[in-house]
Amino acid sequence: MLKTLKVRFSQGKQFVPDVTKADPKGFRGLPKIGPRACEAQCQKCAEVCPTHAINVKSMEIDLGRCIFCEECSRVCPVDKITYSNQYKMAASSRESLSVSAAAGQPVIEVSRRLKSIFGRSLRLRSVSTGGCNGCELELAAIANVNFDVSRFGFEFVASPRHADGLVITGPLTVNMREALELAYDGMPDPKFVIAVGACAISGGLYADSHALDRSFLNRFAPELYIPGCPPHPLTIANGLLDLLGRKG
Amino acid sequence: MAGLAQSTMSVLAGDTAAISLLKWIDFDRAVAQQLESNHRLVSCFASPQSGDESGIVLNAVFSKPQSGLEMLRTAFPRGAHFPSLTPQYPFFHCFEREIHEQVGLVPTGHPWLKPIRFSGSGMGKMATYPFFRVEGKEVHEVGVGPIHAGVIEPGHFRFMCFGEKVHHLEIHLGYQHRGLETILRQKEAARLAPLIETAAGDTTVAHAWAYCQGLEALAQLSLPPEVDVVRGVALELERIAMHLTGLAGVSTDIAFLPGGSTYGRLRTVIINTSMRICGSRFSRSWLRPGGVYHGIAADVVSDVRKSLEQFQVDIRLINELFQNSMVVKHRLQKVGVVPTSVAAAIGMVGMAARASGQEMDWRIDQRPRPFAGRPLELAVEGSGDCWARCLVRIREIDASTQWILDALKGVSEISCPPPPKVSVPANSTFLSVVEGWRGEVFHFLETGSRGEVVHYRIQDPSLRNWFGLAQAVRDCPISDFPICNKSFDLSYCGNDL
Ligand code: SF4
């Protein structure tokens, strides 16, 4: 008993008190595109980007593809691309995941509809379809003692029957097509889809693979996109909070 | 063996043409010789035959402590049959299944020629898996998955039970197959790192390192010793973090709640340490061919040291509680046993094999560079049960933490130069192994006449250990499956690629 108490005591307070205002030291998060002019004709960043996330003409980075690998910033001769430890990067539309010098931050519009239904309690069913266990572990982490999202009423459930939101990770493999459909069909209305990680949002590094079938997402467009490879738990938690217009 | 150069014990690299193609009969004999002389099979796989469109090369890779890697090759025309090696050497079973699925060679006499991952023409045909059937009035089947209760990867498990008791478990994987090896063939050999890091995303460092050291050996680059140390730190942080994840998972599954929360939050400390150094909690973009993207700056070194010292204090408390708790012992001891002989026969590797009394660990057997000067102690347990697998993990956490602290002792910072450009020679081959937290990670690359990727093989230890899990649950009550599964902690995506 004493030992148990000792462990409990050593544990202290572990939760991040305010997930909207944390400071993840060292985290390579939201890329910033600076105002400096690129060198004439330079395409280096786009050439090395493994996910074709950069549009050099408009100088935009698509966070739906970006894996935050920093290859681009390493070849840039003028330091146009740098990273901040900003973790709020989720978006409610695919387009607004593109960041540029002018539009530096993806936007989430509070969904009035989802807020009125799920504002106080949201049950999530996660389906990994080709994920590498990065996104899966970070999703699981939002429920651990540090991030502890159950304080906001967010919870993962075992059965699709109990779920409101379907959280998809991985690039959507052919071999998971049927199981994914079944899980979604098994969820009662009202329901919605959340795409977590570059693979789910755009195919990421696997976008050109012959082993994917992403048609599910054409039929059921996500209401929330959470970028990263894998996304930080803070990115996920804040995405959910912001979508539902919650203060945290 | 003649041909490829041994650059370190864990890498073999050089001209592909230097490896001779044996006739089947000589190959077969050489395999037997290897095994008789206490070599262990590391991998067996098919690759295309250069200069012969219709040919397929069969590769077998062996190792022995302190003597590195050896490779044997033979070739067949497409569609050929060859006598299966599995009946005599059961540890070939998953490799021959894979070869059959990938290139269509037929190992005749293989007892269990089932799909490994439903790739190629099998894609999408998940419903056609030929399950083993147990007949009888008292027999019933329980199927779970592909989607499981928690936030985990998909795979299907089918139990054939007598009452509560599992007679046989069949593990049907492939749901995570995303065509990784095919995509690798479409990219530049020197730029595969981001993809390789996602082969099994919880084993980023081990896979990245296997790839990097292979290319470096081909390019005959020698790295500054600091790079090795930083890579060692990265690898051991990954090991600690994932062992903690596993211990937290087992604890939760047996309702040992202090373990669930404490191991869980200690993992956060460790992956945040990785993030502090390289920007990512999963060590992405840390290792690259030719070096590392992130050394360890002065303020970071002292933070890492402080975190790990506090970590040592905290983990000791919870480990003591875990190891002395009746609940824990009762649930884990003698549950999910894989005896040493079975582990050896089916070719289990890594942490799970060590828990079954198998002495093998590349960090110790072959002493790759950062571990050579600062050796680790081998963590082996004999009982082969869930308890043993947890004990091995506990001991490895302690050893790795101490290893990192020793490596950082008296060091004010570790600065590493930006990696040089690595040029990959044409018509060459490397074989490379790194001991990741689950076990040996094996990579193979063959380049073509323009230095392009002709074949890339990634072998996560999970490929071999899944069958160990199936063995472990035999004769267990079905309710023991979750803890057996968690104690093995295998990768679905690493198997499915
Ligand atoms: S950080 Fe993002 S945009 Fe830059 S190269 Fe990597 S994937 Fe492309």
Q: Which residues line ligand 1 (CB under 6 A)?
A: A 48-51, 53-54, 61, 66-72
Digit-by-digit pLDDT tens for chain B (497 residues) are: 446 776 677 899 999 988 999 999 999 999 999 999 999 999 999 999 988 888 999 999 999 888 889 999 999 999 999 999 999 999 999 999 999 999 999 999 999 899 999 999 999 999 999 998 888 888 898 999 899 988 999 999 999 999 889 999 999 999 999 999 999 999 999 999 999 999 999 999 999 999 999 999 999 998 999 999 999 999 999 999 999 999 999 999 999 999 999 999 999 999 999 999 999 999 999 999 999 999 999 999 999 999 999 999 999 999 999 999 999 999 999 999 999 999 999 999 999 999 999 999 999 888 888 888 888 889 999 999 999 999 999 999 999 999 999 999 999 999 999 999 999 999 999 999 999 999 999 999 999 999 999 999 999 999 999 999 999 999 999 999 999 999 999 999 999 99
Distances (CA, A) of A26 to A85, B303, B308: 7, 12, 17
The atom number, within ligand 1, closest to the CA of A61 reads: 3
CA distance A93 to A83: 22
Contact state of A10 with B180 under an 8 Å Cβ cutoff: no
Which residue among B149, B183, B284 sits closest to A208, beta carbon to beta carbon? B183
Nearest-CA residue for ligand 1 atom 5 is A49
Q: State the count of interchain CB pairs (< 8 A) between A and B.
A: 194
Distance A229 CA to ligand 1 centre (A): 11
What's the pLDDT at A18?
85
Q: Supply A49's token pair.
A: 């980007």
How much is the pLDDT for B293?
97
Cβ contact A137–B245 (<8 Å): yes
Report yes or no: B234 at the A interface, CB cutoff 8 Å: no
Interface confidence, given as ipTM, is: 0.94
> Are B493 and A137 an interchain contact pair (Cβ–Cβ within 8 Å)?
no
Mutate to test the interface with A, among B144, B157, B198 (most CBs of A within 10 A): B198
Residues of B in contact with A173 (CB under 8 A): 175-178
The pLDDT value given to residue B7: 64
> Quick one: which atom of ligand 1 is closest to the CA of A48?
5
Q: What is the pLDDT of residue A3?
A: 76
Question: Ligand 1, from A43, A66, A82: best to mutate by most atoms within 8 Å of Cβ?
Answer: A66
Burial of B36 (0-12, 13-18, 19+ CB in 10 A): exposed
* pLDDT for position B3: 66
Q: Is the pTM of this model over 0.80?
A: yes
* Ligand 1 atom with least separation from CA of A52: 8
- Give the orientation angle of helix B225-253 with respect to helix B298-324, to 10 degrees: 30
Q: pLDDT at position B328, please?
A: 95
Q: Which of B99, B197, B131, B120 is nearest to A174 (CA)?
A: B120
Q: What is the DSSP string of B393-413?
A: HHHHHHHHHHHHHHHHTT-S-
Residue of A nearest to B274 (CA): A26
Give tens-digit pLDDT for A117-151.
Answer: 888 899 999 999 999 999 999 999 999 888 999 99
Nearest to B258 by CA among A3, A4, A9: A4
Residue A230 — pLDDT band, cuts 50, 70, 90? very high
Interface of B with A in 245-264 (CB under 8 A): 245, 258, 261-262, 264
- Which H or E run contains B275? helix B257-278
Question: What sign results for the dihedral spanned by CA atoms A62, B175, B388, B40?
Answer: negative
A28 vs B280: CB contact, 8 Å cut-off? yes
Q: What pLDDT is recorded for position A215?
A: 96
Distance CA(A183)–CA(A160), nearest Å, equals: 6
